[in-house]
Amino acid sequence: MGEEFYCILKLVSGEEIFSLISTDDNNGDPIIILQNPITMKMINNQGSVYVKVKPWLELSDDDMFIIRPDKVITMTETNDSHIIKLYNDYLSEDSIESPYNGSVKPSSKMGYISSVQEAREKLENIFKGLKES
């Protein structure tokens, strides 16, 4: 197998893939080995830019895929530290330090004021106060 590098591939199907790849000359029949390939989509929303990251094949449990070079229109190596960090953070989303693991605690800035039980008690007290007046 050849050396590994981060790469952006454009396939003949039109898909753009980001992956850690290596190449192999399989007895004169070259192949490209993709490790944890993902797709990234840039989303513009109200003056902000977001990146939507998804696995290339969403229903597969595998993390390595083989494709033939004739299925690739172009490929380019990238050393962009932001994209590589986003890719590695996405892969380690089960990690506690990762901002992508979905474990965000609500805060008052997000509109969280109290628990349901506390809100119920406050509203009942207000209602009881109105009844007594």
DSSP 57-92: STT---SEEEE-GGGEEEEEE---HHHHHHHHHHHT
Number of domains comprising the chain: 1
Instruction: Please check the confidence at residue 1 and state whether its pLDDT lies above 50.
Output: yes
Q: What is the rounded average pLDDT of the residues 48-57?
A: 87
User: Is residue 124 assigned to a domain?
Assistant: no
Structural domain that includes position 24: 5-104
Residue 12: CATH number of its domain: 2.30.30.100
Provide the token pair at 65: 């895929």
pLDDT for the residue 96: 45
Q: Is residue 108 over pLDDT 60?
A: yes
Residue 13 counted as domain residue:
yes
Asked, for residue 133, whether it belongs to a domain, the answer is no
Q: Which residue has the higher pLDDT, 99 or 13?
A: 13
pLDDT higher than 90, residue 2 = no
Is 20 a member of any domain?
yes
pLDDT of residue 95: 46
CA distance 10 to 6: 14
> Is the pTM for the entire model greater than 0.75?
no
